[in-house]
């Protein structure tokens, strides 16, 4: 019987950094705010969020919260999901780990249909024994850990503190994908 290896999606297989910036730019335009967003992704890589970023750029907290609400409403819309691309090493990693393991995908997404369209667009479904979608937010880490345990996974490959913490909660090894959203300095393996 093959062992099970879990993959995260966004930031691990799928490069969605451009989407995050484009959505922020478009939402800021709705508010009549023009900011240089060249450092947005780097800022967020240290565990900060959009609200922290906006406040650091001089946006008042009330407006930052309103912008964040709009950003959340737009971030998984089909228009913006089309901006995502696969990381150059995504297929290599999937082929490498699927040789001796069964793969599962665990991702936090609200737009399930959008996720499925992306999985099919990039022809990734064939790599996974099962695809698990958890609710984004505060419960995502615990939900991921429960799935890792229930699937007897031996390894989690991801790019965020949530992925690392889920692996730790499940008592399994974590492999950090360094092209993703979080900087290795904040990941506790």
Considering the domain architecture, whether residues 114 and 72 belong to the same structural domain is answered as: no
Domain end, chosen from 48, 81, 114, is at 81
Rounded to whole angstroms, the Cα distance separating 53 from 23 reads 14
Query: Encoding tokens for residue 82?
Result: 């089309």
Considering the domain architecture, whether residues 56 and 135 belong to the same structural domain is answered as: no
Considering the domain architecture, whether residues 93 and 171 belong to the same structural domain is answered as: yes
Going from the C-alpha of 179 to that of each of 41, 89, 166, the distances in angstroms are 11, 10, 19
Considering the domain architecture, whether residues 75 and 107 belong to the same structural domain is answered as: no
Considering the domain architecture, whether residues 111 and 36 belong to the same structural domain is answered as: no
- Look at the block and give the residue holding tokens 């691309």: 85
Considering the domain architecture, whether residues 141 and 62 belong to the same structural domain is answered as: no
Rounded to whole angstroms, the Cα distance separating 181 from 187 reads 11
Rounded to whole angstroms, the Cα distance separating 16 from 102 reads 25
Domain end, chosen from 25, 52, 81, is at 81
pLDDT score for 60: 95
- Looking at residue 169, which CATH number applies to its domain? 3.40.50.1000
pLDDT score for 183: 58
Considering the domain architecture, whether residues 136 and 158 belong to the same structural domain is answered as: yes
Residue ranges in the chain assigned as alpha helix (H): 17-30, 40-44, 50-56, 61-74, 78-81, 90-98, 112-121, 140-150, 161-170
Considering the domain architecture, whether residues 10 and 25 belong to the same structural domain is answered as: no
Considering the domain architecture, whether residues 100 and 10 belong to the same structural domain is answered as: yes
Considering the domain architecture, whether residues 46 and 74 belong to the same structural domain is answered as: yes
Residue ranges in 75-129 assigned as alpha helix (H): 78-81, 90-98, 112-121
- Domain ranges, residue 28: 17-81
Per-position pLDDT tens, the chain of length 189: 789 999 999 999 999 999 999 999 999 999 999 999 999 988 887 878 899 999 999 999 999 999 999 999 999 999 999 999 999 999 999 999 999 999 999 999 999 999 999 999 999 999 999 999 999 989 999 999 999 999 999 999 998 889 999 999 999 999 988 776 655 665 665
Number of domains in the chain: 2
Domain end, chosen from 54, 81, 108, is at 81
| Spatial contact of 16 and 22, defined as CB atoms under 8 Å apart | no
pLDDT score for 169: 97
Considering the domain architecture, whether residues 164 and 124 belong to the same structural domain is answered as: yes
- Look at the block and give the residue holding tokens 């667009």: 121
Considering the domain architecture, whether residues 34 and 114 belong to the same structural domain is answered as: no
């Amino acid at each position: 019987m093959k062992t099970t290896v879990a993959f995260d999606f966004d930031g691990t297989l799928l490069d969605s950094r451009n989407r995050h910036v484009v959505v922020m730019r478009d939402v800021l335009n709705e508010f009549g705010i023009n900011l240089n967003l060249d450092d947005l992704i780097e800022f967020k890589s240290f565990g900060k969020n959009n609200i922290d970023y906006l406040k650091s750029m001089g946006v008042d907290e009330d407006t930052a919260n309103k912008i964040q609400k709009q950003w959340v409403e737009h971030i998984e819309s089909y228009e913006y999901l089309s901006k995502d691309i696969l990381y150059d090493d995504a297929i290599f990693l999937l082929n490498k780990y699927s040789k001796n393991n069964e793969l599962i995908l665990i991702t936090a997404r609200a737009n399930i249909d959008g996720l499925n369209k992306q999985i099919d667009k990039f022809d990734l479904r064939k790599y996974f024994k099962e695809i698990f979608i958890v609710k984004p937010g505060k419960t995502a880490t615990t939900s991921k850990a429960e799935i890792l345990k229930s699937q007897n996974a031996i390894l989690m490959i991801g790019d965020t503190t949530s992925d690392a913490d889920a692996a730790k909660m499940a008592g399994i090894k974590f492999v950090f994908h360094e092209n993703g959203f979080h900087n290795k300095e904040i990941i506790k393996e």
